Structures are given as C-alpha cells and as structure tokens.
Amino acid sequence: MTLKTCCVTAALILGIAAPAVVAHHSFSAEFDITKTVKVTGKVSSVRWSNPHAWIYIDVPGEDGKVVNWAFETATANALFRRGWRKDDLLPGTAVTAEGWLARNGTPTANTSAITLPDGRRLFAGSAPNEGTTR
C-alpha cells in the first residue's frame, strides 16, 4: 500500500468517525446531577433508538394540565441487556420515572429508573453511579 493510499484511507476513516464523536454530549453538559426529578404518569410513546432511547410520559400537572415529559435513557441495546423489553412500556402504562433534570428548563430528564405498576424497577444506567440490574 502506498503512502498516498494510506493517507486517503486514514482521512476517510477520520471523516466518518468524527461526526459521531462530536455529536455525542456529556451528561453534565445537558443534565444537572444536583437536580433530581420523580414523576408519575402514563407512557405516551417510546422511541427505541441510538444513541439514546427516549420514553415520553404524560404527567398531570398541579393545574390539571398534562405535561409530556421526555426521559432520555441509554441505548436500546444497553436497555435490552439490562432486562428491558418493549412490552414493559406500552402506551398507557402507568409508570414512575426518576432522573436528573435538563439544564434548559424543559420537561426533559436523563433517566435513573422507571418503576412499573407491578413494582419492578428498570434501571437505565445512563448516568454516573447507576446500577445495571433489574
């Protein structure tokens, strides 16, 4: 392999990998570990995607209005390995979600755990010091 071919190959690899590295955020850049939140509501939808899955929960506010909260989790694959299943979070399922608030003031949080109606706690493990067992 010539030097020119090696340089072109290296440039292509760096060009492909760089956006993924730059696009990913640190926990502390987006969420405040000193501000926890715990809400109870009904799952409106779940987006099983990468790099993070998202759980959307309709939570009744003190004024009676429903607020749709967005809870970021680990990757869908990581959740599956921790025991999560798509059937656990069907729309309409009553859940309690715990996590850390987003710094931007929106009803968004990084998930610590989700408690299901039967009492099972599903750990997201997407923030520092979180468990990985069910």
pLDDT digits over 13-44, tens only? Answer: 544 444 444 445 577 778 899 999 999 999 99
Please, which residues have CB within 8 angstroms of residue 16's CB and are 6 or more apart in sequence? Answer: none
**Identity of the highest mean pLDDT range in 98-102, 121-125, 128-132:** 98-102
**26-123 CATH:** 2.40.50.140
Tell me how far apart the alpha carbons of residues 80 and 92 are, in angstroms, rounded to a whole number: 21
Number of Cα atoms under 13 Å in the Cβ half of residue 24:
10
Longest dimension (CA), the chain: 70
Can you give the C-alpha Rg of the chain in angstroms? 18
User: Using 50, 70 and 90 to split pLDDT, how confident is the model at 111?
Assistant: very high
- Report the pLDDT value the prediction gives residue 85, as an integer from 0 to 100: 92
